[in-house]
Structure 1
Amino acid sequence: MPDFNDPDAPVLDVLAALLGKGESSRLTSSLRNRLQMVHNIDAAAFTPAGPGTFEITASLDPEKTREALSQIFHEIFRLENEEIIEKELERAKVQVETEFVYSQETMEGEAEKLGIFETLSKDPHAEKLYLEKVREVTALDVQRVAGQIFRQENVSVVMIMPEDRLPEITNEELAVMIKEAELLAGGIEEYDAGALTCHIKRFSLSNGLTVLVKEVPGVPTVSLALVFPGGVRYESEKTNGLFNFLARAWTKGTRTRSAQDIAELIEGLGGSISGFSGQNTLGLQGRFLSQNLDKGLALFTEILLAPTFPSEEIKKLRPLILAELKRQDDYLPGVAVREFRRLLFSPHPYGMNPLGKASVIKAVSSENLLETYRNFVIPDRGVLSIVGDIRAEEIISSIKTKLGAWSAESEISLPAPPEPDPLIAPRILTLKREKQQAHIVLGFPGTTFSDPERYALETMNAVLSGQGGRLFIDLRDKEGLAYSVTSFLGLGLDYGSFAFYIACAPEKKDRAIKGLWQEIYRIIRGPVSDDEIERAKKWLIGTHETGLQTNRAQAMDMALNELYGLGYSFASEYVRKIDGVTAEQVLSAAKKIIDSEEYVLVRVGP
């Protein structure tokens, strides 16, 4: 980065303002206001006497780190490839000048300005020349400097997050993420929903494994997602946590390779392979550079077919999972949501903790994991999705060679989960915690992935949540009742939920609950406005399409949708369904799920 006296220093300040200063800046407009990936975001050029830095800082939920990073990279690379309109440039220059001028209103600000210019330029009155240079900055200047500094080799990412929620992003993954964003910014301005399902080939192997293949030329990466029915939905109180443990141990050893061998091979390929489990699924996912696909696919196949779940690796994983369970109780919003789900869904497995129970984790053995693997990782139950820079016919031939002979049968049928206890009266729980905030979740039974009314409920959720939603505007901005407030929709294969969350000062908790009920009654008493529903639908569609920009996201989305019975082409169907939602449908769906006598309320705090 240039220093303070470099001719490009004023250009850097304009670049920072264009990206991250003010509500209309690119990063704020995109990541916070439109996509709601971050709580706040800012950009700044640090130009001291020596080499400086260009910094983009954001606060966000850890779960959104990957998609936020991808979008940040996309926005900065857009600067090199798209025309910067004059109005936007002038607005950025005004931001720089006004921030500079306003700082001089106080004696402290004036003294600081004189000191900086004297120290760095040896002229305490050089600010006039600096402002003249700011006014002379052109769009071409901004694009030239952006091209010079926004390069892969210059990127450093620092994250401060709770240990149990820290996303694992390797240098190789970061490099691929940057390359994908750079190529996307160079050739695609908006994602074409119709393109989400083009060139997809579906076929089944003789063993019953469903395979989906999609060619995405241009970005030299390939992603694989293999999913099976599994996860919490197939656990009981005696086995809660088994699938989570299996997913973490899946890549820790095969018949011919140790965990260290596998890790070194994956890193040498610039890729990643990991197990995953959730509410309804168990699976394996991988990501590789196209040039390393053959080796990566061979390793992926070996991990899939010949895992050993070594006892020594189980011993290493056990304390890590137990530590996560302990840390869960320190994150009170998570505690409130976890207890809400328990009260709403039990004895259905959706009411259990996805991480598991400490007693189960302490008892898990290599034999337990192998038995679960053999009973659930069955080819005729699975869906394998491959998306990326590939030739479909070549990858199909390779998959048939590597997996065509795979034969496995389960000794058990997929168990049918028990139904939740009927909710015929309010269920209320108060947990005392000596903290400075009260956390409240108030919610109702929701719906499933396949229910046609899910689209109206998703639209209602978008009307209510986010910084432009009713809850934030009314309960935080106008009433000052909340530190944080939102709504959230949970979809499942069997059952779902719709809930409201608010964090507030302890002395405001009764008023906060009353405020939530007022918003609940408001949503069921009359249709939402045309402006609200259009904003909500645009946000849903924009978030959906942005979330499917990467090969990894598309591979997972296609596989899950196929497994859930929605079909691999559901991505484009979803856009059409959301676009067709009306205010009357939102009102009808709200009235069906909201009942003032059948709800769950959880309060956590002092």
Structure 2
Amino acid sequence: LLFGFRTPAINHADVPALDLLAVVLGQGDSSRLNLEVVRNRQLATSTSAYLFSARDPGLMVVAASLPPGRVDDAARVLLDEILRLSHEEMAQEELAKARTILESDRVYDRETVQGYARKLGFFTAIAGDANFEEAYLASLQRLTPADLRRVAARYLRVSNLTVFAQVSESHPDRRRQRAEKTATRVRRVAEVAEARADARFARAAAVSAQTDRMVTHVFPSGLKLLILRDTSVPIVALRATWVGGLRYEDERNNGISNMLAVLLSRGTKTRTAEQIMHQVESMAGSIAGYSGRNSLGLQAEFLSRHLERGFELVADCLLNATFSEEELEKEKRIILDDLRAQEDNLGQVAFKLFHSGLWKHHPYRMDPLGTPESVAALTRRKLVYHFRRHYSIKNLTLAVVGDVDPSRVIAKVGALLGNASESEIQKPAVLPEPATEGARQIYRFMAKEQAHVVLGFPGVTFANPDRYPLEILAHVLSGQGGRLFSEIRERRALAYRVSAFSLEGIDPGYFAVYVATSPEKIEETIRSIRQELSRVVEEGITADELARAQRYLIGAHAIGLQRRSAIAAALAFYEAYGQGWRAYRLFGDHIMKVTVADVARVARKYLDPQRELVAAVQPEVWTPGAARAAARAGGRAATSIGRSQESFPSGATRRDPDSSFIPR
């Protein structure tokens, strides 16, 4: 199925905007058509979009391959996505991603003499100007979301549409007739879709001028409420967030934040755990507590028609959680089993070891799950005391995203939580970790046929602008085709897993490289990592590497924010951490502002060999010193060096393309 929209000649001022619209629609895995038509709805096996520009007027083509029986449904969804561009302004982040794709394509075209010659010949013959690309790229940079919406409204209309259908039919005459009937039917679908889109967006604009605009409200109790209306689907997501989590723990109560999070939705003064479960299921929703290195809170999601009941349940959990002895004992047994299971995950053991060496005093050194001793010692009295001491409605941030009326949400939250009066809370003094000098290596010896290594350096906070060039650097090093991946895994076959990442927090985190390798290759692997890090410090990265990393990070960020619950989380965290809710929309802008020089600067600043920490988990004989001693002793096991046979706390985990236990 092909949709063709007539477009102007290559020299027309609207061509750069049309190119961007084609990229947004149908180029790349994160394009709108691929996400909605192929992945979410599964109505087509593939989709694409491109702009054909020439000396004479051209064509924007949208294509889809699909089963014969799904033509009408697929056409309807395709057209809904196309027509959205005429009515909604895309996010700056999505525009930046499309712009990066177009710019990088043109950079790659200049990589070879042949490509550059083709480019010059084409622009001279077709555009009449060998330097046409300079003006084109400058136009790309000036375009805004409003410009793209205006251009889409001008060209992406049914009156400007040609439909072509290719069908499966062996007989030529019947094939032609069937194709014409299909195209005619799709044309009618298009007309209905356009009328529906015009009516829907006109109605949405009339109903509320607050759609896609943040509404903020601070109640007398101190509660901060953020509301982002999104009427595209009848869902509402909530995220209630307190600053705290692991940062508010010590060795005696380690794991208490995780336990509080689990039990927040396991019973209140008026609802048992089973009653909460049944009520949530009746709203086709979910509710759960969460905790991490920097926060504690409650998340919920339900159909928007259950707004009143959903908010009442959330408020009940926040205000009246009982942390019952029965539920506490059940969860203790589960967590203790989880802690024992950690010993079988050598990657997690390596990160626990790394944390214990990087932080000697800061709470980040501890495992968010706790230790067997601290978890076993938790009581209901301790839970209630800790919760009341550190967490109150007055220091809560609540984000609501979805199909809601902001004034109705403010009224409901105000009635439930707005006037809650509670005692003053206490914020523990979290002292900064003292700086350390000199490279260090720590080991844990385990009778396993693997070696896991974390090599890292002290890093930055959420608020530090260096986090963005560090994100670029991490992707250049370890993304698919990254330097570490290519050198250590592909070319030299030293490791079967390698990744690099920057981990931030309210307090400084770290930049680290993680590898899983064979014990006999550990020294060579560590040496290779240091060589690659040294090379990036001395030589920096290339413009092509920067462009690829920017394209990937912006796309991945956009994909990660597709769900309303993800947006609610971003709003709540950024606001609670002091950066302001607008920060979630600025990630793409910050990434696009990073230069090659910025990456070189942060590499020199943070990849300091004198501040390096290596944490390794491996069989005892394969530690570097022990291996050399064993060789001198004729193969006998050498005396242990470093730390051994200790219990090392880990960090909570986040998902990573190469590792499921990278901490956050």
Q: Is TM (by shorter chain) over 0.5?
A: yes
Distance across 1 between alignment mates of 2:386 and 2:71: 51
Residue 297 of structure 1 corresponds to 311
Q: Deviations over 1:579-603 (max 9, x none)?
A: 0000101010111111112211011
Distance 1:198 1:209, change over 3 A: same
Pick from 373, 376, 398: which aligns with 1:362? 376
* Structure 1 letter corresponding to 2:342: Q
What does 1:10-49 align with in structure 2 at a 5 Å threshold? 30=29
Question: For residues 599 and 73 of structure 1, do their structure 2 counterparts lie closer, same or farther at Cα, with a shift above 3 Å needed?
Answer: same
Per-residue deviation, 1:420: 2.1
Q: Which residue is 1:249 aligned to?
A: 263
Q: Report if aligned partners of 2:230, 2:404 keep a CA contact under 8 Å in 1.
A: yes
More divergent stretch after superposition (414-423 vs 263-272) = 414-423
Q: Hey, what does 1:14 align to over in structure 2?
A: none
Q: Cα gap change, 1:432/1:30 in structure 2, threshold over 3 Å: closer, same or farther?
A: farther
2:518 aligned with 1:594: no
Output aligned runs, 1:402-413, within 5 Å: 402-410=416-424, 412-413=425-426
SS in 2 for 1:464: helix
What does residue 372 of structure 1 align with?
386
Change over 3 Å in CA distance of 1:594–1:397 after alignment to 2: same
Identity %: 35
Aligned counterparts, 1:477-516, within 5 A: 477-516=490-529
Secondary structure at 1:447's aligned position in 2? coil
Q: 1:418 to 1:222 in 2, by over 3 A?
A: same
The answer to whether the 8 Å contact 1:241/1:354 transfers is: yes
The 1:349/1:292 distance shift into structure 2, 3 A limit, reads: same
2:214 to 187, 200, 221: 200
Root-mean-square deviation (CA), in Å?
3.2
Inter-partner Cα distance in structure 1 for 2:582 and 2:341? 39
In the alignment, which residue of structure 1 is the partner of 2:576? 563
Which residue, out of 438, 447, 458, partners 1:445? 458
Distance of 1:344 and 1:191 partners within structure 2: 45
Task: Identify the residue that residue 323 of structure 1 maps to in structure 2.
Answer: 337
Report the secondary structure of 1:585's partner residue: helix
Q: Say if 2:232 is the partner of 1:218.
A: yes
The C-alpha deviation readout for 1:248-287, integer Å capped at 9, x for no partner, is: 1111111111111111111111111111110011101110
Residues 86 and 572 of structure 1, relative CA distance in 2, 3 Å threshold: closer
Q: Which amino acid aligns with 2:301?
A: R
Tell me the amino acid that sits aligned with residue 142 of structure 1: L
Distance across 2 between alignment mates of 1:588 and 1:558: 30
Which of 128, 133, 142 aligns to 2:66? It is 142
1:362 maps to amino acid:
A
**1:207-253: per-residue Cα shift (whole Å, max 9, x none)?**
11010000011211100001111111111111110111110111111
Q: Distance in 2 between matches of 1:183 and 1:290?
A: 22
Q: Secondary structure at the match of 1:483?
A: strand
CA distance in structure 1 between the aligned counterparts of 2:69 and 2:557, rounded to whole angstroms: 32
Matched residue type, 1:80: L
Query: Does structure 1 conserve the Cα–Cα contact (< 8 Å) formed by 2:437 and 2:611?
Result: yes
Residues in 2 aligned to 1:284 and 1:182: alpha-carbon distance in whole angstroms: 38
| Residue 553 in structure 1 maps to residue 552 in structure 2 | no
Structure 2 CA distance, aligned partners of 1:567 and 1:181? 36
Instruction: Name the CA distance, whole Å, in 2 between partners of 1:182 and 1:263.
Output: 40
Question: Which residue does the alignment assign to 2:533?
Answer: 520
Q: Which residue of 1 aligns with 2:302?
A: 288
What's the counterpart of residue 80 of structure 1?
43
Alignment counterpart, residue 576 of structure 1, candidates 569, 579, 589 = 589
Is 2:458 aligned against 1:459?
no
1:145 to 1:418, Cα distance in 2 relative to 1, 3 A: farther
Superposed CA deviations along residues 52-105 of structure 1, whole A, max 9, x for unmatched, are: xxxxxxxxxxxxxxxxxxx97774246637984599xxxxxxxxxxxxxxxxxx
Distance 1:219 1:399 in 2: 22
Which residue is 1:58 aligned to? Answer: none
* Displacement after TM superposition at 1:539 (Å): 1.0
- The alpha-carbon deviation at position 195 of structure 1 amounts to 8.4
2:402 corresponds to which residue?
388
Query: For the residues of structure 2 that align with 1:426 and 1:401, how far apart are their CA atoms?
Result: 57
Is structure 2 residue 524 aligned with structure 1 residue 472? no
Hey, what does 2:292 align to over in structure 1? Answer: 278
Match of 1:314 among 300, 304, 328: 328
Distance (whole Å) between structure 2 residues aligned to residue 182 and residue 298 of structure 1: 39
Quickly say closer, same or farther: Cα 1:85–1:255, change in 2 above 3 A.
closer
Compared CA separation, residues 186 and 358, structure 1 to 2 (3 A): farther
Counterpart of 2:414 in structure 1 is: 400
Take 1:478 and 1:425, find their aligned partners in 2: how far apart are those partners? 31
Report which stretch shifted further, 592-601 or 318-327. Answer: 592-601
**Residue number in structure 2 paired with 1:350:** 364
- Call closer, same or farther: CA 1:360–1:447 in 2, change over 3 Å: same
Instruction: Measure how far apart 1:140 and its partner are.
Output: 7.0
Q: Which letter does structure 2 place at the counterpart of 1:546?
A: I
Deviation at 1:148, TM superposition (A): 11
Aligned residue type for 1:192: M
Equivalent residue for 2:623? Answer: none
SS at match of 2:336: helix
Letter aligned with residue 29 of structure 2? S
CA distance in 2, matches of 1:439, 1:526: 28
> In structure 2, how many angstroms separate the alpha carbons of the residues matched to 1:342 and 1:143?
56
Paired residues of 1:444 and 1:599 also in contact (CA < 8 A): yes
Paired residue for 1:422? Answer: 435
Task: State how far apart, in whole Å, the 2-side matches of 1:224 and 1:296 are.
Answer: 10
Task: Name the CA distance, whole Å, in 1 between partners of 2:393 and 2:451.
Answer: 47
Distance across 2 between alignment mates of 1:188 and 1:548: 19
Does the residue aligned with 2:537 lie in a helix, a strand or coil? helix
Aligned partners of 2:220 and 2:418 also within 8 Å: yes
User: 1:219 is paired with a residue of what secondary structure?
Assistant: coil
Report the Cα distance in structure 1 between the residues aligned to 2:504 and 2:78, rounded to whole angstroms.
30
Q: Which amino acid aligns with 1:246?
A: L
Instruction: Find the aligned partners of 1:188 and 1:605 in 2 and give their Cα distance.
Output: 55
| Runs of at least 5 residues in structure 2 that lack an aligned partner in the other structure | 1-24, 51-62, 95-210, 620-664
**8 A contact 1:191–1:546 mirrored in 2:** no
From 319, 341, 344, give the equivalent of 2:355: 341
Matched to 2:584, the amino acid is A
Instruction: Output the CA distance in 2 between the equivalents of 1:181 and 1:439.
Output: 47
The residue identity in structure 1 corresponding to 2:465 is P
| Residue aligned with 2:460, SS | coil
**Amino acid paired to 1:30:** D
* Alignment partner, residue 54 of structure 1: none
Which residue, out of 255, 262, 266, partners 2:276?
262
SS of the equivalent of 1:528 reads: coil
Paired residue total? 464
What is the distance in 2 between the residues matched to 1:315 and 1:183?
52
Query: How far apart, in 1, do the equivalents of 2:237 and 2:400 lie?
Result: 6
Gaps of 5+ in 1: 1-25, 35-70, 88-138, 151-179
Deviation per CA, 1:144-165: give whole Å up to 9, x if none: 4568999xxxxxxxxxxxxxxx
